Structure 1
Amino acid sequence: MTDNFLDQGKLICVDWGSSNFRAFLLDDKAELVDRIYFDKGMLELKPDEFEPVLFDLLKYWPTTPIILAGMVGSQKGWRNVKYITCPVKMHDLSQNLTHIVNAQARKVAIIAGVDTEASGAQYDVARGEETQVIGAIEMIGQALEKQAVFCLPGTHSKWMKIADKSIVDFSTHMTGELYDLLIKHSILAPQPASAPKIEDDEAFIKGVKCAKADGGLAHHIFSARTNMLNGELQQNEIEPYLSGILIGTEIKEMQRAIENMQHVYLVGTQALNKLFQLALQQFDLPSSLIDGEKAAYTGMSSIAKQANL
């Protein structure tokens, strides 16, 4: 590391989830200087292991303030940080940081998660996604509508409703986890002798269109088997077809739940953003793509700046 590199780093943003650790070193303009990825999620650590692991991973970076988001603030994380109930603005998050006393006497703080009962259906929670949405709002700037919808695709997708830059409500969908269970532990799991998995937009779109029809999710899922039996699908088309059914069902339900939804901001990886965008097109819903990683560290840096961390 050069002195010039060390001089650039002014803030460290850490997205610490259940299975992965991502750290971002930012300069005084919140631009990315360096990053660290590590497969040491919070589920592998005991509460007293977080501090030594964190400082060991960051030992080559400058001793700047550290702000963290994600499951690191959960019951099984470094500290159990209480949720803030919607509606939530950036100010609410910046004024409710949990500061961690540590051996290096550094400024270290964890961002709270958010919870909601606004939808009336059931209690819901988020840790990390609220920070990504705050970052996405900052990235969009003045172009953001007064009311907007954000979707964060993933293992547990989040759909967040925004009004006047506040998170007013959201819901979680276990779409990614259901997909993983189906292709690994159900009758639809690929056979050992089957052809390798393919990326197939046509099969994916066919699955989305199936989800749009009446019949229900469980019935639609079984159509993956019957369509293979009658020759409508090949074995290596099952996975994109199932993905289309699950994502299509998620979008159909959100289109019903969110009144007058006309546009969706997708905040995630490039691959998932494009997949959800393709599915949204089948519902005639336009979308904008936002890099989830940049949204995460933009959100953390904006919260840190407002909190004078």
Structure 2
Amino acid sequence: MSWREGYIAVDWGSTNRRAYSVDAEGRVVAKLEDTKGVLSVGPGGFDRAAAEILEALGDRTMLIAGMAGSNRGWREAPYVDCPADAQALAQAICWVEAGRVGIVPGVCQRGPGADVMRGEEVQALGAVAAGLVPGDGLICHPGTHAKWIAMRGGRIDAFRTMMTGELFAVLRDHSILSAQLAGEVAPDESFAAGVADALGGADLLASLFGIRARHLLGGGRNDAGYASGLLIGSDVRTALAGRAPGAPVALVGAPALCALYSAALGQAGMVGKVIDGEAAFLAGIRRITEFL
């Protein structure tokens, strides 16, 4: 079967798996979504896990992106160096079954700013292909490890990963601040105060301990919101360094996280624009298949 006749697109992450049966016109005609992420598949279990997708969606050509191509996944797909476009990814696909079942490689940059990603590259290229993001736009993927992807001429030109979400989780669960960070986080006054301090150049480490000090001295703010604002504000300040204010930044991720980043971007003089991650992923896979 030719890729132009339709295919299965799989977004296979660490904890979740989403597979889409796509027809010749690019329409999703069936979908499989479950929690059988890469980390839940035991040794030697990937052949069977992939067969489950084909049984559910039909025996078709299949292109897989995400952590299935990592050293913890089905087959390790080597990284493609930046700058990277859909054609470069297509040429470096790791074929499990020649011409029929392939894994999209991740993208890396080497040198002092060494970084890697798997999965976000498909969404970034798809967002441009679908017209959701300009060819020279900036895309942010909030999450455990937030990704900031700079597009230039429709290609992934450079990117940076921030351990924002993971650091907040460590502080909340395993630090002296645990009791203070148990509350809900929303784009409220406490969050805005944290963002403002971070954007203003406040020392992150000292400001974090200040949460403890204010608590002991009877402070009344939402400490979880303030800490989140500090971290996300620091994230945003670093990512936007050298960029002119006012430009839109595309946000791809969970709605609650995107709302926080959008608020922080607004305080930094930028405009956060939430885009459909699923649509971007599907457009990215479709663009890659055009070179197969």
Whether these two folds match at TM > 0.5 is yes
Using a 3 Å threshold, how does the CA distance of structure 1 residues 290 and 34 change in structure 2: closer, same or farther?
same
2:89 to 85, 93, 117: 93
Give, in whole Å, the separation in 1 of the partners of 2:185 and 2:202: 27
Shift of 1:153: 0.9
1:186 correspondence with 2:179: no
- Residues 227-247 of structure 1, C-alpha deviations (whole Å, 9 max, x = no match): 33344434xx22222111111
Question: Could you tell me whether the CA contact under 8 Å between 1:268 and 1:292 is conserved in 2?
Answer: yes
Counterpart mapping for 1:1-309 below 5 A: 10-46=6-42, 48-101=44-97, 107-117=100-110, 121-140=112-131, 144-145=134-135, 147-190=136-179, 197=184, 199=186, 201-234=188-221, 237-256=222-241, 258-260=242-244, 262-304=247-289, 306-308=290-292
Name the SS for the 1:180 alignment partner. Answer: helix
Identity, % of aligned positions: 35
Question: Could you tell me whether the CA contact under 8 Å between 1:269 and 1:293 is conserved in 2?
Answer: no
Question: Could you tell me whether the CA contact under 8 Å between 1:19 and 1:43 is conserved in 2?
Answer: yes
Name the SS for the 2:202 alignment partner. Answer: coil
- Residues 114-150 of structure 1, C-alpha deviations (whole Å, 9 max, x = no match): 1113xx5331111111111011111226x725x2211
Name the SS for the 1:178 alignment partner. Answer: helix
**Which aligned runs of 4 or more in structure 1 are off by greater than 4 angstroms?**
none
Question: Could you tell me whether the CA contact under 8 Å between 1:22 and 1:37 is conserved in 2?
Answer: yes
Question: Could you tell me whether the CA contact under 8 Å between 2:182 and 2:224 is conserved in 1?
Answer: no
TM-score (norm 1): 0.85
Using a 3 Å threshold, how does the CA distance of structure 1 residues 36 and 111 change in structure 2: closer, same or farther?
same
Shift of 1:250: 0.3
* Uncovered stretches (5+) of structure 2, i.e. residues with no partner: none
Shift of 1:59: 1.8
Give, in whole Å, the separation in 2 of the partners of 1:29 and 1:101: 24
Give, in whole Å, the separation in 1 of the partners of 2:157 and 2:176: 40
Using a 3 Å threshold, how does the CA distance of structure 1 residues 195 and 153 change in structure 2: closer, same or farther?
closer
Shift of 1:58: 4.2
Using a 3 Å threshold, how does the CA distance of structure 1 residues 125 and 226 change in structure 2: closer, same or farther?
same
TM-score (norm 2): 0.89
Count of residue correspondences: 287
